Amino acid sequence: MIGIEDQESLLKLISRYLEQDVICWAFGGNAMMFYGYKKSTKDIDLVFESEEDREAFIKAIKLLGYEKQSPLRIYPEEKLADKNRPLMFSKGNERFDLFVKKIFRTELSEDMKKRFYARHDFAEKKSLIVYVLSKEDIILLKSITEREKDFDDILTICTTEKAISWNIIISEAISQHKKGDKWVLYDMEETMSKLKKYIFLKKEYFERIYEHVN
């Protein structure tokens, strides 16, 4: 597990081993730590805008002792068949899940980029710029990844944060669906159905999804 101070130290250390400036977007437990939603995580989820940036990042973390790991038993089998599955690297009980442009079939959209919550710059040899996605987009993307602890993380956000725009989440899911992501609305509906046991969600949110599923 890695805490917020450890994460910042690690990202700064990685920037020391980079051979070029790199930009990435955080959306997992690491992003939640920047918000203060959780104190530690073992999954550091990042999405890059280019294969070149991901490769530069991978080269740096390999120098720090991280080794490639199989995604089996981490993600649902049907997701692993997707060409946009992550490359995973681990060291001890810490793990990087690294995507490029898309998290499976869901793209890092321009609207997501505009909604970012915070920017963190880590600069040693080169600059590592980490944008933290909005809480709404974190909920959406954690619904898609479907790992063991993702729903627990979503529930933490929803019970901690009072101001969540479900219209933003659903509008983004519908937009992604129209672009060809056939999973996103089903994943979102499944997550929301589970959440209904713990928080109030308006009927109209589900109706918007059902309008576009068929």
Residue 36: which region, alpha, beta or left (left: phi > 0; alpha: psi -120 to 50)? left
Tell me how far CA of residue 211 lies from CA of 103, 149, 166, 176, 188, in angstroms.
Answer: 24, 29, 16, 14, 14
- The mean pLDDT value of the chain amounts to 95
Question: Using CA of residue 169, residue 174, residue 175, residue 180, what is the dihedral sign?
Answer: positive
DSSP string computed for 173-192: HHHHHHTT-SSHHHHHHHHH
Instruction: List, for residues 129-161, the tens digit of each pLDDT value.
Output: 999 999 999 999 999 999 989 999 999 999 999
Radius of gyration for the chain, computed over Cα atoms and rounded to the nearest angstrom? 17
Q: For the chain, how many structural domains are there in total? A: 1
Instruction: List, for residues 108-134, the tens digit of each pLDDT value.
Output: 999 999 999 999 999 999 999 999 999
For residues 139 and 134, what is the distance between their CA atoms, to the nearest angstrom? 9
| CATH code of residue 197 | 3.30.460.40
Q: Which residues contact 183 (CB under 8 A, 6 or more apart)?
A: 104, 105, 106, 144
Higher-pLDDT residue of 73 and 90 is 90
Local structure of 88: helix, strand or coil: strand
Answer whether 121's CB lies under 8 Å from 132's CB. Answer: no
For residues 21 and 81, what is the distance between their CA atoms, to the nearest angstrom? 31
**Would you say how long the chain is, in residues?**
214
Answer whether 85's CB lies under 8 Å from 67's CB. Answer: no
Domain around 176: 2-213
Average pLDDT of the residues in 100-107: 97
pLDDT at residue 214 greater than cutoff 70: no
